[in-house]
Amino acid sequence: MTRRKMVAGNWKMHKTLAESVDLAGRVAEGLKDADLDVLVAPTALALAAVGTRLAGSMVLLAAQNIFWEEQGAYTGEVSAPLVRAAGASHVIIGHSERRQYFGESEKTAGLRVAAALAGGLVPILCVGETLAERQKDQTQGVLESQLAGALAGLAANDLGGLILAYEPVWAIGTGVNASAQQANEAHAFIRAWLDYRFDKEVANGTRILYGGSVKPANAAGLLNQSEVDGALVGGASLNAADFLGIIQAV
């Protein structure tokens, strides 16, 4: 099965509304007939305006997070129906920064995955080990418990096009990317786990992106690996030329 590649940009807490619309426009206009999926995830504040700017382009739109309730007295939160109404088709869930700074756990990531699926959004679930965990040879155990927790209770036909992102925490925003071999090994482990937990079709069909210091200069080496189906890009997605450079390397 050939899996369509994806390059996704996570803009994190960067860019004003005007800057977001400008960057989205540059990305959309810079893409020739790219034969892959391209996605951007602006702040919640810029989602609707970026969605309007991207209308008619091939660029997909994601939220960076959602709360699991649909609506109610949850000050400061946004829900799946709200981000969908703003134009998003995808949502990033369980990013390590959410785990590190905002108390995200396997359980809360699972609640968000379920809410995304119920709300018609494709979840992009992030998993990855810290440096200490890698050094203690715990990478596979960490990946397994993050995956098992966040996908608990789901069957193969519930997954709604689920996308996974392997993001070793030690590689995020550090300038130190995983080697192509380290990434491929981790992705192969995740794929084997999908086969064990669901079935062959899920294992072969699920896209697994690599994230962590992806730049135009290292993108080709990482993305040419057999198990790497694309990239989730932070810092380098904030500059249209760099982001387009990564897309061209696919």
Q: Please, which residues bridge with residue 165 across strands?
A: 126, 209
Q: Which one of residues 172, 203, 219, 223 is an interface residue with ligand PGA (CB under 6 A)?
A: 172
Q: Which one of residues 102, 173, 176, 204 is an interface residue with ligand PGA (CB under 6 A)?
A: 173
Q: Is 25 helix (H, G, I), strand (E, B) or coil?
A: helix
Q: Which of 95, 97, 104, 227 is catalytic?
A: 95
Joined tokens for residue 59: 């660029």
State which residue, 160 or 216, has the beta carbon closest to ligand PGA. Answer: 216
State which residue, 46 or 203, has the beta carbon closest to ligand PGA. Answer: 46
State which residue, 79 or 213, has the beta carbon closest to ligand PGA. Answer: 213
Task: Kindly give the pairing relationship between strand 207-211 and strand 230-233.
Answer: parallel
Sign of CA dihedral 25, 5, 9, 219: negative
Using CB under 6 A as the binding criterion, the count of chain residues that bind ligand PGA stands at 13
Joined tokens for residue 205: 């069909």
Minimum separation from the CB atom of position 127 to ligand PGA (A): 12
Joined tokens for residue 226: 């057999």
State which residue, 43 or 70, has the beta carbon closest to ligand PGA. Answer: 43
* Annotation says 95 is catalytic: yes
Cβ burial of 35 (10 Å; 0-12, 13-18, 19+) is exposed
Let me know: does 233 contact 10? Beta carbons within 8 Å.
Answer: yes
State which residue, 203 or 233, has the beta carbon closest to ligand PGA. Answer: 233
- Say which DSSP state 8 is in: E
Q: Which residues 192-231 are close enough to bind ligand PGA by CB under 6 A? A: 211-214
Q: Which one of residues 143, 235, 247, 250 is an interface residue with ligand PGA (CB under 6 A)?
A: 235
Amino acid of residue 187: H
Q: Which one of residues 232, 240, 244, 250 is an interface residue with ligand PGA (CB under 6 A)?
A: 232
Minimum separation from the CB atom of position 169 to ligand PGA (A): 9
Q: Is 177 helix (H, G, I), strand (E, B) or coil?
A: coil
Q: Which residues 36-65 are close enough to bind ligand PGA by CB under 6 A? A: none
| Closest to 209 in 3D by CA, of 2, 6, 4 | 6
Residues that bind ligand PGA (CB under 6 A): 10, 167, 172-173, 211-214, 232-236
Residues involved in catalysis: 95, 167
